[in-house]
Amino acid sequence: MKSIIGGIFLVLLLSGCSHKISIAPSLNDIREVQVENKADVNVGYYISDEAKKTATTTPGGGGDNITYTPYADLEGALNTMLSRKFKRVYAVKSLEDKAYIANKNIIYLFTTTIKTDSSSTNVLIWPPTDFTVELSCNAVNLDGAMVWSDTMSAKGHASAGELMKDFSLSAKRATETAFKEMLLKLEKTDKFNQ
């Protein structure tokens, strides 16, 4: 009986399907990035509700796929990154909500574009051994003029043994690197100094 159950489990494990993961990195690791050139201004960021709900499916291992919601998963990382550079950070529900923006004394508004991909060198397990992320950040002033823009690409890798403890590890490593590196780029610019 145990061998039958084990066989069924193995078939389910190896069968092609999509597995839900989160690609959110450790926020504590982003908070540890040293920022000396902090800007004494309030900023906002905008992620549409539609973007937060949008799921992305990319390849995993063993013929399976992984599914995740990049903008929802990474909102915390975006907020944390901006909080390390700026005085206060606010989520803005609409770029047209001038009253909210004025009430919070927001000077700059950030938007992001996130592109991802994944793959695996292991055919026996479904989690991806490799994950890539391209993070683009744009900041505009209250007149809508572009003040700052940059793009960061990062890769994350995890061994099969590591993935058995955390199915999302390669993704988390990639997104953590992307946000840390983007924070360092933000830290070096003086575009936001008043």
**Predicted confidence band of residue 60 (pLDDT cuts 50, 70, 90):** very high
In-domain check, residue 9: no
**Predicted confidence band of residue 192 (pLDDT cuts 50, 70, 90):** confident
In-domain check, residue 194: no
Q: Length of the chain in residues, anyone? A: 194
In-domain check, residue 92: yes
pLDDT digits (tens, 9 = 90+) for 21-39: 999 999 999 999 999 889 9
pLDDT digits (tens, 9 = 90+) for 61-118: 999 999 999 999 999 999 999 999 999 999 999 999 999 999 999 999 999 999 999 9
Q: How many other CB atoms are there within 10 angstroms of residue 128's CB atom?
A: 32
Question: Which ranges of 43-105 does DSSP label H, i.e. alpha helix?
Answer: 49-53, 70-85, 98-103
Backbone torsions φ then ψ of 129, nearest 5 degrees: -80, -20
Confidence check: pLDDT of 151 > 60: yes
In-domain check, residue 177: yes
In-domain check, residue 136: yes
pTM of the model: 0.89
CATH, residue 151: 3.40.50
Higher pLDDT, 4 or 158: 158
In-domain check, residue 175: yes
> What is d(CA 95, CA 117) in angstroms, rounded to the nearest whole number?
29
Q: Check residue 117 and give its pLDDT.
A: 98
Question: What residues make up the domain containing 42?
Answer: 18-188
Q: Name the β-bridge partners of 100.
A: none
**Predicted confidence band of residue 7 (pLDDT cuts 50, 70, 90):** very low
In-domain check, residue 1: no
Average pLDDT over residues 3-8: 50
In-domain check, residue 169: yes
Number of domains in the chain: 1
Tokens representing 107 are: 């000077």
Confidence check: pLDDT of 12 > 70: no
pLDDT digits (tens, 9 = 90+) for 102-142: 999 999 999 999 999 999 999 999 999 999 999 999 999 99
Q: Check residue 175 and give its pLDDT.
A: 99
Percent of the chain with pLDDT over 70: 91
